[in-house]
Amino acid sequence: MKVVKFLFIFIFCCLFFGIISLFSIYKYVENTLPDVATMKDVRLQIPMQVFSSDNKLIAQYGEKRRISLLLKEIPSLMVQAFIATEDSRFYNHHGIDFIGIFRALMMIITSGYPSQGASTITQQLARNFYLNPEKTFLRKIKEAILAFRIEQLFTKSEIIELYLNKIYLGNRAYGVGAAAYVYFGKKVSELNLNEIAMIAGLPKAPSIFNPFYSYKRAINRRNIVLSRMLEEKYITQNQYNQTRKEKIKTCYHSPKIDFSAPYLAEMVRRTLYDKYGENAYTDGYKVYTTLISKHQLAANFSLRENLIKYDLRHGYRGAAEILWKLGEKPWKIKKIIEKLKKIPVCVPLIPAVVMSTTKIEANILLSDGLQKQITMTGISWARKYISETKQGLKPKTIDSVIKEGELIWVRRVKNTWWLCQIPEINAAFISLNPNDGAITSLVGGFDFNISKFNRATQLLRQVGSSIKPFLYTAALDKGMTLSSLINDVPITRWDSKTGLEWKPKNSPPKYEGPIRLRQGLGQSKNVVMVRVMRAIGVDYAAEYLTRFGFPDECIDRTEALALGSPSFTPIQMARAYSVIVNGGYLVDPYYILKIKDYYNKVIFEVNPKISCQNCIDIPVIYNEKYNTNIESNKSDNTQNKIMQLEISDEHINQKKIYAPHVISAELAFLIKDALMTNIYGQENWSGTAWRAVNIFNGRRDIGGKTGTTNNLRDAWFSGYGPDVVASTWIGFDDNKRTLGRTSNYGSEMGANSAQPIWNDFMKFILNDISIKNIFLPKGIVSVLIDDKTGKLGFSRKEYYINGTEPKDFALEEIGTNITIENSIDREELF
């Protein structure tokens, strides 16, 4: 009896002191525990997603991949798989499963290892939200208290929904939605039992039980999940038997990007990071850009293809790398494949290694282990590169060009493989909607992985003859007309201070005497442009350029201005050409349409300034403040700021406002029409952009202007089509090398190297767009004029601002087409 009594007292004291100890521990940690009510407002870490205007995913930023789902969107079989495996008594406990703890202890005693965890789903949720992963007794106490509090505040459905969205499942996948895509490339609703069981087995050790790390362990873990589901009667015996026989077919699935636009996506990323810091990558923002997928795909293809074509024209520079030389022991296949897989692919170029060569064929190995052949067809272009202006002879055998052990670049052309190389030349392309400034496509270089420098927005380069339409606009505003005669003869000017002469020349150096201003623009006559600017004045011309958004600090106030000496960026050029196309309005380029937050609420929606081509009551009012939307810092040519994004509710549901009207609709119409002449020319002469004539089948709603700088360092083309303006530049990043020439292609001027990019882009996007009819502004009249004199005649139709049209007919001398007025030496006038 004494022993029993003593034992009873001992047990009572143990229980008493145990309760006291537990209560003391509880009071000790109580004040250090977070308020679980914050889980009601929790924001699961969801990456930022960037979309095009037509809802195509173009980028995703954030380390954690998560697709937030409602419980009703998750298959019941998936819920049952997790409950069976992680917490079979989930619906019967209040956060802590004492029966489960006892069962787990018995398993350890009887089997010697823990085959089943003791933590409930609620405890795991508490751990994931509030606690670190360290395994200590104090942490388990905190976990239990938090689990109990969570059960008091949340329903079971809310808990399991949070858990299935929060749990880490390996390979940067958080939640079952992300795991379904990462492992199987599917939505969670598309998973079968085999796939569900594999995912449900991951929480215990996601880095060990995933099939990428160990297929065998993943299979064993999946089978344990299936066993638990069978025990809980969630699946039948037949389902269990059948699924155990199945293999796990999986591979890593990256975020499904619909198309690539890395340069603009980076602009978006930087904008949101500047606004939200690191939270930009975790708060689930959805950013909808102005990009149009068709435009961006066309821009990507056109720029890359034409850079590659330029590179092929100028010869083969040699292997990217030599892995082993002739006579040395070749690398093993496995080592070669490992090397190739580490090299980023530059679409459409693929790295390869030459395994063997003969006079007529080369055997190459790709990173996927496949071997392909290059024949003479794919190597015939590879004349030896000597310089941009000189190339060697056409190769006669393959083994004279590439050799065994060389790492090269190749591309597939139809059913053949071609030797290729990553271009040293680079380019930029940007297209805008001229009516409101929306950027519809943007390519900042050949490949973002090679260079993240955004040439479309950051590159300042001399623009050459691309500047002429704006200077001619100034001349028309000063009183000239498109039929004004300007003397196309050489100019020589001596500088008395330096003793040097300045002799601007036409390219080609051909002179035609007095010609109309339209022809001067259409044929890009340099001496005509210089004479026009002398007539209107350099300061007036320089000041006038700022109307088109060009920064004043980038504009030289010398006669070289007429030949395009200022340096601007492609986006500034596109913006300026938009003024001509949209009726004279200086729109602001922008690239974000709207932003949605974690709750799918629109927190920003753009309210762009728009043009109004049909308005007749908006006066032309110019002010320097209109140039502040896009600025360039001349001391640092990598800087080119686009309109700053202010995110606030004030931007939503605003009324439309008009952009500054900086030139009249009549002036804009005249220059826009003259730019069409650059493509189609007129009888007896062709425009500098004549290469576009056959491409566009004579449609008369396009126009553009070439641009080439001294020593062929830069080439440009800017132009328009229905509701689109596009500008492209091509050149070398170091701004020292010439674009050169080839014997069979000629000089790499704007029309030869830049315009093909523009042509290919426009041909693709206008393929299914109807020709846009031309409507004359109210103040425009058309009259028939004489070609030679620009006076009234019967040669062709010309447009004028009402009141500036010629009033007199041309007076011809007998037997000639030259007027009396043309006998006057106009050198002194212009």
User: What residues are labeled active site?
Assistant: 86, 465
Tokens at residue 248, please? Answer: 């796990």
Nearest Cα to 95, choosing from 117, 116, 137, 126?
126
Nearest Cα to 798, choosing from 496, 493, 355, 481?
481
Dihedrals φ, ψ of 495, to 5°?
-95, 110
3-state SS, one letter per residue, for 701-770: CCEEEEEECHHHCEEEEEEEECCEEEEEEEECCCCCCCCCEECCCEECCHHHHHHHHHHHHHHHHCCCCC
Report whether 289 contacts 592 (CB < 8 A): yes
Q: What is residue 235's DSSP assignment? A: S
Cα separation, 487 vs 469, whole angstroms: 18
3-state SS, one letter per residue, for 73-108: HCCHHHHHHHHHHHCCCCCCCCCCCHHHHHHHHHHH
Q: Edge-to-edge, what's the strand order for the sheet holding 439-443?
A: 439-443, 426-432, 724-731, 714-721, 703-708
Report whether 537 contacts 552 (CB < 8 A): no
Dihedrals φ, ψ of 277, to 5°?
65, -145
For residue 763, CA distances in Å to 407, 453, 722, 749, 759 come to 36, 28, 12, 21, 6
**H-helix or E-strand spanning residue 676:** helix 665-680
Report whether 353 contacts 323 (CB < 8 A): yes
Tokens at residue 25, please? Answer: 């521990």
Q: What is residue 176's DSSP assignment? A: H
Write out the DSSP string of 119-164: --HHHHHHHHHH--S---HHHHHHHHHHHHHHHHHS-HHHHHHHHH
For residue 754, CA distances in Å to 304, 442, 680 come to 12, 15, 18
Kindly calculate the radius of gyration of the chain based on its CA atoms and give it in whole angstroms: 36
Residue partners of 225: CB distance under 8 A and separation at least 6? 81, 84, 85, 197, 198, 200, 201
Cα separation, 571 vs 338, whole angstroms: 41
The two beta strands, 485-488 and 513-516, are antiparallel
Residue partners of 362: CB distance under 8 A and separation at least 6? 354, 356, 373, 374, 379, 398, 399, 402
Nearest Cα to 574, choosing from 443, 687, 451?
443
